[in-house]
Structure 1
Amino acid sequence: MGTPQSDALHANSTTAVPMFGLGTFRLKDQVVIDSVKNGLDLGYRVIDTAQIYGNEAEVGQAIAESGVARDELFITTKIWVDNFAADKLIPSLKDSLAKLRTDHVDLTLIHWSSPENAVPVAEFMGELAKAKAQGLTKQVGVSNFTIDLMKQAIDAVGADAIATNQIELHPYLQNRKVAEFAQSQGIQITSYMTLAYGKVLKDQVIETIAKAHDATTAQVALAWAMQLGFAVIPSSTKRENLQSNLGAQQLVLSDADMAQIAALDRGDRLTSPDRLAPKWD
């Protein structure tokens, strides 16, 4: 087992997407610059952003100022729903690349399905495949996709072409149907909001497990997700939390720990925007 720093440097060789990264959702301006710079300084090498976050330029600035070589990094962005049409998707990705100060990203995701199916899944997945063929992105995937939407994406480009489905997944929303279908197709799950906006940090079951392992509750929740095979992308504005979160990579939970956390599932979905949310499984 390497150090947290060395573990964060390298993608998991058995998965398409590295298991541990740094999220930037809701982080803006100098806050996101500081978070990314601190993360890179601590050894993070996986950065997740999105067009709608409005922080791609700041993420690009932080990366440039960090001095970390591009080939050490795994950068993910997500295409916003306004940019799904065939004449918009690739130009919008090129705009993202300019903001990120790179000629390619490692992973490009469709952020949500198209509201009211205004742009069919086959159309935007086809454009993503073209972006990959043009070298603008090394891998492609989806986010917030249900089983039905994943099936449509698979029909369009094949399961092998879809690296991940990034979904809300935490101890209170374990999304088992979606996760099991994705895994059956060889599509990795990336868990976002793994700490449920901090709710799980005060959970008594998780606190008890954390004490037994001399770990933090955040480390327990992150380790739980990774032990299930899910990639995680926690964010923080505090350097000490960024450093502590890295320790989740060394934490091994027992079968009993995992069973206790499995029992916390209550279908508590925190992200379901009216205009965007599909019919959830």
Structure 2
Amino acid sequence: MSGTNKSSVPEFLLLWLSRQPQQQQQLLFGLFLSMYLVTVLGNLLIILAISTDSRLHTPMYFFLSNLSFVDVSFSSTTVPKMLTNHILRSQTISFSGCLTQLYFLIVFGDMDNFLLAVMAYDRFVAVCHPLHYTTRMTPQLCALLVSGSWVIAILNALLHTLLMARLSFYVDNTIPHFFCDVSALLKLSCSDTHLNEMMILTEGSFIMITPFICILVSYICITWTVLRVPSTSSKWKAFSTCGSHLAVVSLFYGTIIAVYFNPSSSHSAETDTAATVLYTVVTPMLNPFIYSLRNKELKGALRRMISRKRFST
């Protein structure tokens, strides 16, 4: 490839939405705006309810409030930029802005991944070792699990962002997504991306697979314990909770694996975009409903919070 086909591009073009028919663009804009508002409102309500109700100051709700914060941040990394570009009729994003978006996308994606595993471990201790729950899940351990997750996520994101920053790109700098996706950027690069791909398949795979294995082992132990419970209603309640959690876990991991751990020739840009929409927009929107709004304690806290607001006004 000659030097004229290379460029340290000052900006990229996010063309996914603009490539849709005009009527479909308006529909997608309204759909993404609605999902984003539901995500922000739902997760912020969860955080407020947990922080203002002392009865919810337990490890499970501590992890849940962190998950809600991460979900809001995860969606805010990509959706507002896409909505702003549509309003301003501009599809550009600067090279530094693209790397910044990529960095925070990896940070919050990793945190979602880690928190799902931490919450699974919390449920494992609560179901399999209920008598030792308070002695095992201490505030110090909970803080250590969350802070350790943040450190690993930040370092992992920094590694992949620095590896991406060293690459050169073709003059054709169009990204067929609504955000700066790792796989799309690698396809645009005219540099040797072997190191980037190797780190994704080794270190990146380890970061994703290890929490998944922890979730799997936790739920195997939970299932084994629940099957030994004589009460049918208790079994059904436990399995129903596990089913909701595992549904989100399957959606989150399934879409990421489909995008990042398959050969690039096995899927199209449209398939990639559909998968990324699921884990960057849909999953954070569903988490408040699946993990929280079906919970009686949390719904009670939300009602008490709303009642206090009405009384104060």
Question: Which TM-score tier does this pair reach, normalised by the shorter chain?
Answer: under 0.3
Higher helix share: 2
For normalisation by structure 2, the TM-score amounts to: 0.24
For normalisation by structure 1, the TM-score amounts to: 0.25
Higher strand share: 1
Tell which structure's C-alpha radius of gyration is larger.
2
